[in-house]
A = this chain, B = another copy of it.
Amino acid sequence: MKSVIMGIDLGGTSIKLGLVNISGQIVQSLEWPTPKNKSYHEVIAAFERMSEQLLRESSYSWRDILGVGIGIPGFLDFSTGSVFEVVNLGWHQVPLKEELERIWDVPVLLENDANAAALGEMWTGAGKGASHIICLTIGTGIGGGVIINGDIYHGANGSAGEIGHITVKEQGGRPCNCGKKGCLETEASATAIVLKTLEQVKGASGLLKEEYAKQGNSITAKSVVELAKLGDPTCQTIIADAGTVLGKALANMCYLLNPELIVIGGGISYAGEILFKPLTESFRNFALPRVRENTSIVQAKLGNQAGIVGAASLIHHYDLLES
């Protein structure tokens, strides 16, 4: 009896593979750095070698695999499994699903990584039991996934949920990679938080200054979150400001979608109440009672397992739907 799903989380820095059982638990996993030139063929070769190693180290074989789900940091056509573009990997128009199904001879499903994370949270994380969800992942950028009637919503060309580029600051917003200014992601992502911290580090004292020196006149988003939790006021204010921006943007989204649940994940979400308190306050200020009264805002639960479990959830979800 086929009993596990392979989930693959493809990122610009690393590739994670995991075997996930039908309850959504990771039973075995593996992480390799993404091949240096990131080419399509080298990544496929890495997938092959990693899957062999993963199975060899586990008690499973290909016979046990229900299918392979893959989360991709880019645009794709969910129905054909053809990848349009992955900017970070330099991929354009690659038939990933087709090629992997030929190699592995099991069903392969691809999804944008933020969408996969949203489905994963609905399967076994913070979204369990809900069927109208907006899921945000606050990392280097800000990814979003929209769940409607229990299913990922793709929109006209698969771009639904690309909320990182909502304009939130028309005047004086920072320039974004996308060419616009003042995008949600230039104001509230981990990257934005690091930039703001670097701008303010000169005036700062104590913990932040020490950590900045220790990291060779630099700072990571993870450290900003940790310092905020240790009580550093500069880091706390910067994260709180991001929360305020996010809360307003989410309020505006709720007028359109009136979701029952908003799930917020990614590295910055580990700041907990330092992020969530101002975020929720701002959300309440901008969303009318009628629109927000049935909407909860919660922290994602899958943490760094979100990528693998989210990818595996594709097979679980669509397998269930078709049976």
Please list the residues of chain A having a beta carbon within 8 angstroms of any beta carbon in chain B. 75, 132, 134, 144, 146, 148, 153-167, 170, 178-180, 248, 251-260, 286, 288, 290-291, 293-295
Contacts and interface: CB of A to CB of B under 8 A. Distances in A.
Contacts of A154: 258
Most B-side CB within 10 Å, residue of A259, A260, A290: A290
A170 B258 CA distance: 21
A251 B252 CA distance: 12
Contacts of A255: 144, 159, 161-166
B290 A75 contact: yes
A293 B252 contact: no
A121 to B, nearest CB: 17
A253 B256 contact: yes
A256 B258 contact: no
B256 A165 contact: no
Nearest to A161: B256
Contacts of A179: 288
B256 A167 contact: no
Contact of A180 (B159, B288, B295): B288
A165 B291 contact: yes
A245 B85 CA distance: 31
Contacts of A157: 258, 290, 293-294
A155 B248 contact: no
Nearest to A286: B167
Nearest to A261: B156
B148 A153 contact: yes
Contacts of A288: 162, 165, 178-180
A146 B257 contact: yes
A257 B291 contact: no
A33 to B, nearest CB: 28
Contacts of A148: 148, 153
Given A148-B153, A165-B255, 14 more contacts: A75-B290, A153-B257, A157-B294, A158-B258, A159-B258, A161-B255, A162-B288, A163-B255, A167-B252, A179-B288, A180-B286, A180-B288, A252-B252, A256-B257
A265 to B, nearest CB: 17
A100 to B, nearest CB: 24
Nearest to A169: B170
Contacts of A166: 252, 255-256
